[in-house]
Structures are given as structure tokens and as C-alpha cells.
Structure 1
Amino acid sequence: MLSKLRLKSLSQLKSRSGLRAIIANTGWLFADRILRMGASLVVGVWVARYLGVQQYGLFNYVLAFVSLFSPIFTLGLDDVVVRHIVRQSSNKEEILGTTFWLKLLGGIASVLLAVGSIFFLGEHETLKIWLVAILGMAGIFRAADTIELWFQSQVQSKFSVIAKNIAFLLNTLIKIALILTKAPLLAFAWVTLAEFAMSAIGLLIVYQARGISVLLWRWNFTTAKTLLKESLPLIFSGFAIMIFMRIDQVMLGQMIGDEEVGIYSAAVRVSEIWYFIPAAIVSSVAPSIYAAKEKSESLYYQRIGQLLRLLTYISFAIALPMTFLSDKIIMVMFGSGYAQAGPILAVHIWTSLFVFMGLATSPWFIAESLNHVSLGKTLFGAILNIILNLLLIPKYAGFGAAIATIISQASAAFLCNGFDKRTQKIFNIQVRSLLPFYKF
């Protein structure tokens, strides 16, 4: 009897210790995102006012265009790698080394494809081509994010947060200096690239300071095949997600012009700045969800349900006040030149509900090995988004793009789950997360 009590007590202590680690890890991620949100919002608005609607629109058009190729350098590996490290911690050097080289090769490929594509589209403006080349090179330095995946798997994100925030704060100060010295647009692109380079160096220093060496990392072809086989659906899903998030700005630039992109980007900046919340929570909670599946099916679904409920409520808490205050927020932050962004923000902010839902269900799709299903519904939503943009942008410009984004996000992250037998279980949990009195 005493033995059983001791085992139970030990189990409870481990559970509490794990919970404390998750809370602490989430706290660090939140601190990171809040710092970035505050500083980037203030400086970003300052940059928008300095550059003006047209140049700000051009810069965001290029950022959106380059981001379409980001799945090539991320390769959909992040969640897959974290799960493999959690399950095979003794093989971490091989997993990390293989991931690094895959991401590095992906980064090089993404730059070449981005530059080649801008020429293919018939763009011959020298400034635009330079912007694509400079901002595209950021993917090469993102290979160092492999280190961040290790810290995530150990629920120790504070170390990567410290490294990246030092780079971010330095970069923020440089941007302020560029504004004060009236620097040209191209200088802001170089500074953006410099932040990723500094982050890579910072992550390397912190990793080495923890007594671990990247020199122990090693490439393994079999591991590469295993990781890519699992992440392949996530790569295509990543393309679809980027279409969700950025094709509206690219299509606005192609169909209307840079000024409309500038107005729309002002609304999107305020709307999307909240996305750090689900990203931080899910990255911290995901390892415990994977571990729960190994122990108990009921505990596993309980944690998923609680995560969905939490993120759904947070999205409502953000969207409701933003809907009524959108005009004032845009005027105070960006000035009268961006006044047309107010109505766009009032609509686009509701995209957060479905973005939060989609991120909350991502660990379930990975744990259930249903990445291919996630890919299918995401591709459907992406195609729907393009079609709706083609129909709505010519008549309603940025307002139409916002409507297209909401409908496509709702379809992919929520409605599609109800029409597939394989995902109806998670759809039921999503519906219950909207019911305030349902207890998981």
C-alpha cells in the first residue's frame, strides 16, 4: 500500500513539474512575442508613416511574394522534428544535423526560386528585383532555427527567446536610425536580412553555452528520408497556408497596385499581430499532447479540447472590440493616409477565430498521422481563396480580399472537418469548444 502511495505521489510530482515547465515555457514565449509585438508595432507604424502608402505597399508586396516560398526552407519539419526528438532523445544529434542541412539546402533553393519567379512574372523594376533577392536570402539563415527546435522539445524556449530578442532589439534600433537618417527603402530590406543573420549567431552562441556542440550533429540519409516522408504533406500544407496569409497582398499588387497593398497591409499588420498567442501556446503544449496520447486516449482528447476552448475564447476576446474600434485604431496608429484600412481591419480581424482553431488542431493531425488530410483541406481553402480574390478584388479591392480570407480560412480550418469521417471527431470537439458550458 505504501509503495502504491509513493508511486502515486511521485507521478503527481512529475505531472506538476511538467505543468510548471509548460507554463514557464509558454511564459517565455509570450514575453518574447509581447516584446516583439510592442516594439515591431511601434517601429512598424513609424516605418509605414515614413515610407508612405506607395513604398510601404511595395515593401509588403515583396515580403508577401517572398513568403510564398517559405515552405521550401522550412520544409514542414518543425513539428515533426520536435516529435522525433521527444521520442528519440538519444538520437538527437542525428535528427538535428539532418534537419539543419535539409533547411540550409531549402533556404538556397527558395532564394533561387523567388528571384526566378519574379522574372517569370515579367517584373523588370530593378528595385523590386533587389528587394526579392535580399529578403529571400533570409531563408538561408533560418536553417539555424534547428537549434530552436531542440529547445522547444526540451520545453526550454527561454534560451532561444533570449538569443532572438537580442537580435530583434538591435535590429529595431537600426530601423529607428534609418528613419532618422532618411534612408532609402532598400536599406530596410538589408536590415531585415541582418536580423535573421544575428538571430542565427545568437542561437549558436546560446546552444554552445549550454554545453552542447553543433559539431556533434551529423547527417543521415535514412533520417532525412524519414523526416521528409512525414513532412511532405506539411510542405504542401505550408504552401497553402502561405497562400491563405499572403496571396491576397500579391494579387492586390498585381490587380490594383502598390498603394492598395499599403492600405491593406496596415489592416493586416494589426489583425495578424495577435497570431503569436496561439503559436506560443501550441508550441509549448504540443509535446504534452503527444506524450498524453502514449498514456491515455481520454487524457489526450481532454488536452486537445481544453486547448481549443482556450484559443477560441481568446480569439473572441480580440475580435469583438477590434471590430468596433478599427477606424480609430488605424487613424491613431497610421494616420489619415491609411484611413481606408479601418473597414478592412473590422472584417479581417475575424480571420483570427479560424487561424486560432487551425493552430489548435495541428498537434492532433500530426499525432494521428493525418497530415495528408490536413493537406487536402488546406489546399481546398487555398484554391477557394484564390478564386474568391479573383471575384472580389476587382470590385471591392482590399475589403474583398479580407472577405475572401475569412471564408477560405473558415472552410479549411473548421467546416471541411465536418464533411470527412476521419476528421469528424476533431470537428465535434471544435463545435464543443464554441459552447461555453460544455466541459471536456
Structure 2
Amino acid sequence: MLDKLAAITQRLSPGLRQIIGNTSWLFADKIFQLGLGLVVGIWVARYLQPQDYGLLTYALTFVSLFGAITRLGLGTIVIRDIARDPAGKDETLGTAFTLQLIGGVLTLVLTVSLVSLLKPNELLTRWLVGIVATGTIFNAFRTIDYWFQSQILAKYIVVANNLASAIYAVLRIILIRLQATVIAFAWAGLAESALRGLGMVIAYHVHGNQMRRWRFSFHRAKALLRESWPLILSGLAVYVYSKIDQVMLGSLLSDTTQLGYYSVAVKLSEIFDFLPMIIYQSVFPKFSSLKEQDPDEYLSKFQMYFDTMALLWIAVAVPVSILSPYIVNILYGKSYAASAPILSIYVWAQFGSNFGVARSAYLAVEGKLHYSLYLSVIGALTNVAINAILIPRFGALGATAATLMTYLLVIVLLNFYFRELRLVGKMIIRSLNFYKSASRLLKLVQ
């Protein structure tokens, strides 16, 4: 068996072997973190029970609403620029780091100010939001991860992330044993953010780089922001149409119990979200160079990329939907039984994640990122409107239905409205013929 796998591997191109190797590292990283995080996360959810777990989820999702300000939409642009111009990496990384540090501080100020206006009498909620938001400042160190992605080198950052995840898991277990309150778990999350930042710095230096060589450039900052501002706005809009349901559940209903049920269903259905992301991280630099070298091969490979996303979606959605009552009962217990019907429906919305990531890669390579803004704004407005109608009447199930309808509109249907995106729409439709999708992918190893 191993001999056959080795023979197949040798028939692949060096570039494809590099992608597979990098993807394997990222896959192993996510499996470790998901396995550890799932076990400890379930323990935390069982300990806190739906209401407190829903309250912690509200703080996390509320802060995430401003994640676009923290990231400033720089990830894809920085990775692309370093891949194209390795000599300018210190200026690019130094400028991106400074901008994201400023974004983290702005996120802290904005979230604390806004939650104080929305919930002036809920001191615990305001503290939770403030602690979680402080962790976004350390996200500036993720700039280092952009460099590793641009070089298709995952193993260094994998070690750093796994160490931080292991320490975070131990902290939460200790808090459960000590019967700590919900606010202690927010502090543990802040500690994890700091540890991840430190781990990335160490990994960067171990690889022979020096952060002190980084330099900030106003000219480079203006260039980055000029290109990334559509991504900042679209990132905010993407969050609104993909995650505002959790914020609205916590705001429109009298308590956070429904949010607790819903967040469990969302967490379970999104367990495999790492798959499209690690594939994206591995193939994106190659697409950028392939477009210039061989346009026909570039489009052929992009179709295979969408085929992969379609097969991943159906492979996850079918078994999870059927087995949802057993999954929820075994993992979370009877107190979360109401999460099962939500999970059985919500898991089908993962086509939005899979195809959305693939489309983002296409828009970035083609220089059409402004469409991300148009699509995201339409999706955000649609999702808020549908959630406002359905949540008061149907609670968490209403939020689930709103997510499915929004994704169908934004990820699939709107591609055919914009002329320059019709090719993406056709790729998605072709990928839904699962037999032909599998046949095209098998050609990679023949």
C-alpha cells in the first residue's frame, strides 16, 4: 500500500507535491487543535450550561463583528505581494504589522464603547466583551503567519499553534476543576492570544528571520490600504451575513439559552471548516503564478478547486445531518438536545463556506476584489432583514433558515447577475455534478 502511494506521489509535479506536503502539515495542525479544542470545548459547554455558554458566545461573536478592523483585509494581499516580491518582505510585513496593531486597539475601543451603550446594566457582559477584545491586539502577530503562507511553509507555525492550544486546553480544564465563573474562561482566551503571538515570533526567528528588520512605510501603508479597503468593508459585511445571527439571537431574545443551543449546532457543523481554508492556503500562491504562465491550465485547475469544495461539502453534510441527534446527545448531553434539529439543517449551509473561500481565491488572483464588497453588502442586508423577521418567531431555527437563504443568494445566485462572475457561477454548477467532479480530480493522479 505504501509503495503504491509513493509511486503515485512520484508522478505528481514538484509544485503539486509541495502543495500536498504543506497541506498535510496544516491538516495535522487542525486535526490536533480540533480534537483538543472539541474535547475541552464540549467539557466547557457542559460545565457552563446553555445560558452561560450562550453569554460567552455572545461576547466572542460581538467582538468578532469588528474582526475586519483588526485584520484590515491584509492577509491575501500580503501573501500575494511577498510571493511576487520576496525582497520587499521586511517593509511589507512591518507595515502590515503596524496597521493590524492599530486595528486591534481600535477594535478594543469600539467594542467596549458599543456594548456599554447596548447593555448599560449588564456589567458581566461588558467585562466579557472587554477581555475578549483585548485579545485582538495580539492578532497583529499573525502577520508572521502570512510570510509562512507565502512560502508554503506550514510546519513552523504548526508547532507554535499547537503549543498555544495545548496550554489553553490545560487552562480551561483547571478552571473547570476549580469551578470558575464564566469570566475566567474569557481571561483564558486572552492568555491564548498572547501565547499564539509569542509562538509565532519564536517560529519566525527559528527560521532565520528577524522582526527588528521590519520597517514601517507610509507609502506602503497607503498602497496596502488602498487595495484592502474593499476587503475591510466586505470582511465586516461577510461577518454580518455569516455571524450576525448569533449577535441578534443574544440581543433580540430575553436570555441567551437559545444562543447556547444555536452556538453548539454552529460549532459542530463548522468543525470541518478548516479543510477549505488549508487547501486555500496551499494553492493560492500557485494560482497567482500559474495565471501568468499558462492561462488555460489555470482555469482547468480552478475548476478542480471548486470540484474539491463541492465534494468536501457533500461528504460532511450528509452524515452529520442524518446523525445529528446522536452527535449532540453523545457529545453535549441531554441539556443541549434542542441543538440537534438545528444542526441537521445548519450543516447544509457549509456550501457557503466551501464555495465562498474558492471564489475569494479567484477574485484575488483576477484582481476583482471589489466584487467581494458588493456581494457581502447584499448578503449582510439580506441576512439582517431575514433574521429580524424569523428570530422573534422561531428563535434559533429561524436564524438557521436565514443563514441558508442568504448563502444561496450570495454564494450561488448572484454570480449570474454580475457578468464578470458568471464563470464562477458556472464552475460552481459544474462542480455539483459530483460524478464528473470526482472524475476530473482523479486525473491529477493518473
TM-score, shorter chain, exceeding 0.5: yes
Q: Indicate whether 1:96 and 2:93 are aligned.
A: yes
Alignment of 1:83-122 (within 5 A): 83-122=80-119
> What is the Cα deviation at residue 122 of structure 1?
3.5
> In the alignment, is the contact (CA less than 8 A) between 2:82 and 2:92 conserved in 1?
yes
Alignment of 1:20-419 (within 5 A): 20-256=17-253, 257-419=255-417
For residues 430 and 290 of structure 1, the distance between their equivalents in structure 2, rounded to whole angstroms, comes to 20
AA matched with 2:34: M
AA matched with 2:170: L
> In the alignment, is the contact (CA less than 8 A) between 1:312 and 1:434 conserved in 2?
yes
For residues 107 and 121 of structure 2, the distance between their equivalents in structure 1, rounded to whole angstroms, comes to 20
Which residue number corresponds to residue 10 of structure 1? none
Q: Secondary structure in 2 aligned to 1:212?
A: coil
> In the alignment, is the contact (CA less than 8 A) between 1:378 and 1:413 conserved in 2?
no
For residues 153 and 280 of structure 2, the distance between their equivalents in structure 1, rounded to whole angstroms, comes to 14
> What is the Cα deviation at residue 408 of structure 1?
0.6
Percent of aligned pairs with the same amino acid: 39
For residues 195 and 372 of structure 1, the distance between their equivalents in structure 2, rounded to whole angstroms, comes to 34
Q: Secondary structure in 1 aligned to 2:73?
A: coil
> What is the Cα deviation at residue 17 of structure 1?
2.4
Q: Secondary structure in 2 aligned to 1:183?
A: coil
> In the alignment, is the contact (CA less than 8 A) between 1:65 and 1:246 conserved in 2?
no
AA matched with 2:245: D
State the Cα RMSD in Å. 1.4
> In the alignment, is the contact (CA less than 8 A) between 2:50 and 2:260 conserved in 1?
yes
Which residue number corresponds to residue 5 of structure 1? none
CA deviations 1:339-397 (Å, max 9, x no partner) are 11111001110111121001011111011111111210111111111111011111111
> What is the Cα deviation at residue 120 of structure 1?
2.1
For residues 38 and 107 of structure 2, the distance between their equivalents in structure 1, rounded to whole angstroms, comes to 28
> In the alignment, is the contact (CA less than 8 A) between 2:346 and 2:404 conserved in 1?
yes
Q: Secondary structure in 2 aligned to 1:276?
A: helix
> In the alignment, is the contact (CA less than 8 A) between 1:86 and 1:287 conserved in 2?
yes
For residues 407 and 34 of structure 1, the distance between their equivalents in structure 2, rounded to whole angstroms, comes to 30
For residues 167 and 388 of structure 1, the distance between their equivalents in structure 2, rounded to whole angstroms, comes to 39
CA deviations 1:62-98 (Å, max 9, x no partner) are 1111100111010010011000001111111000000
User: Structure 1 length normalisation: TM-score?
Assistant: 0.95
Runs of 4+ aligned residues of structure 1 deviating over 4 Å after TM superposition are: none
Q: Which runs of 5+ in 2 are unaligned?
A: 1-9, 441-446
Q: Secondary structure in 2 aligned to 1:182?
A: coil
For residues 333 and 15 of structure 1, the distance between their equivalents in structure 2, rounded to whole angstroms, comes to 40
Select 1:429's aligned residue among 419, 427, 430.
Answer: 427
For residues 16 and 317 of structure 1, the distance between their equivalents in structure 2, rounded to whole angstroms, comes to 27
The alignment covers a number of residue pairs equal to 428
Range moving further from structure 2, 122-131 or 136-145 = 122-131
User: Structure 2 length normalisation: TM-score?
Assistant: 0.94
> What is the Cα deviation at residue 22 of structure 1?
0.9
